[in-house]
Amino acid sequence: MSFTIVEPARFRLNRSQLFVPGIRPELLPKAAKGAADIINIDLEDSVPVAEKPKARANVVKALSEVDFGDKTVSVRINACDTHFMYRDLVDLIEGGGERLDLVMLPKIGTPADIYAVDMLVTQIEAAVGRKKKLGFEIIIESALGMANVEAIAAASPRNESLHFGPADYAASIKARTVGIGGFNADYAMLADAQPDGSRPLHFGDPWHFALSKIAVAARARGLRAVDGPYGNFSDPEGFKAQARRSVSLGYEGKWAIHPSQVALANEMFSPTEAEVGQAKRILDAMEQARKDGLGAVTLDGKLIDLASIRQAQVMVQASAIIAGRGA
C-alpha cells in the first residue's frame, strides 16, 4: 500500500437507486416499500421549471411523513448554475429533519462547485443543529466535470460516491446519440477483409472511457462508483448486460428509472453464490498457504496470491451485508 492511507466513505449498500420525480410524491410510499437500496427523490430534470417550488414542498413533507424504513434517502437538487439550488438546500435541511441522508449534486464541473455547496450545507446544518452530517452523491455528466473528476472526488469529506450521467455527458461532448446510456451501433470498427472475404463489424462500448475514468477517480478517494440510468426500461436484458459490464469495471450499483429495474440492479450488483463460494475457497487456500509459509499457490490450476485475498474478502464482505439486508 501507499504511505497515503485512503479512508473509505461511510459504507452503504448501493446496488440500486430508484428515482422518483418530486412532482409525483404519491409514488414515494411505493418506492419505500420496494427493494431499492437508495431512494433518490428528484428536484432536477424530471421537474419542470414552473413546478420547482411545488416539488420542493412535496419533498420536505415526504421526508417527515413517509416511512422510508432502513433505506438510504437522497434528494437530487438543482445544479449550481440555477437559482433553484440554494433554496433547495435551505428548505430541505431546515424543514426535512434528520431523515435525509444524502444530497445528489448534478452537473458538477469543478471542485469549487463542491466547496460552495459544502459551505452552504455546513452553515444550514449548524443553524438548525442537525446531528447527522449530510453526504454528497456527485454526478459527472459534462466535459468539464470529466476533465476535473479527480479533483472533484477529493473536494469534500462529505463525498460518498461518483455517478456517471450518460445523457447529459453525451450532450456536453456533442456525441451523436439521443439514447440514455445504451448501445450505439456507430461505435464500431470494420475489420479488414477476412480470408473468406467477409468484413465483420466489431462493436465497442462508447461509455468505456467515461466509466473507467470515474471508477478510478472514485476508488482513489475511497468513494463508491455508481453507473447512471439505462433509459429503455422495457429492455431488461440490455440493462443487465450494461450492469454486468459496469460490475467488471468496479461499479457498485446502477440507477433505476423505473421500479422494474430495481430487482435487476440488485441481482447484477450482488455477488452470486458461486462467486462467494469460490472466494471462500480462495481464502481457505491462502490461509493454508500462510501456514505453509507460502505467498503464491495454485488453486484449480490457476495462480492465487496475496492480492487474491483482498479480492475475495471484498466479495465475502459484500455478500454478508446483502444477506443481512434480506434481499
Q: Look up residue 15 and give its amino acid.
A: R
Stretch that binds ligand COA, among 12-20, 113-121, 195-203, 236-244 (CB under 6 A): 12-20
CA distance 260 to 120: 36
Among 10, 11, 30, 244, binds ligand COA (CB under 6 A): 30
276 binds ligand COA (CB under 6 A): no
For the CB of residue 315, give the shortest distance to ligand COA in the complex, in Å: 29
Q: Per CB under 6 A, does 46 bind ligand COA?
A: yes
C-alpha cell, 179:
439514447
Measured between alpha carbons, how far is 122 from 116 in angstroms, rounded to an integer? Answer: 10
What are the residues binding Mg ion (CB under 5 A)?
Answer: 141, 165, 168
Quote the least distance from Cβ 2 to Mg ion, whole Å. 34
Range in contact with ligand COA (rule: CB under 6 A) among 27-35, 200-208, 283-291, 317-325: 27-35
Question: Residues 83-91: contacts with CB within 8 Å, 24+ apart?
Answer: 84/43, 84/52, 85/117, 86/120, 87/56, 88/43, 88/56, 89/117, 89/120, 89/121, 89/124, 90/124, 91/56, 91/57, 91/60
Least distance in angstroms from the C-beta of 145 to Mg ion: 11
18 binds, among ligand COA, Mg ion, none (CB under 5 to 8 A by kind): ligand COA
Tell the residue number behind the cell numbers 435551505, with chain if given: 90
Task: Decide: residue 320, CB within 10 A, 0-12 exposed, 13-18 middle, 19+ buried.
Answer: exposed
Nearest residue relative to ligand COA (C-beta): 19
From the list 16, 38, 42, 308, which residue makes contact with ligand COA (rule: CB under 6 A)? 42
C-alpha cell recorded at residue 73: 434517502
Q: Which does 177 bind (CB under 5 to 8 A by kind): ligand COA, Mg ion, none?
A: none
Interface residues toward ligand COA, by CB under 6 A: 18-21, 27, 30-31, 42, 45-46, 229, 257-259
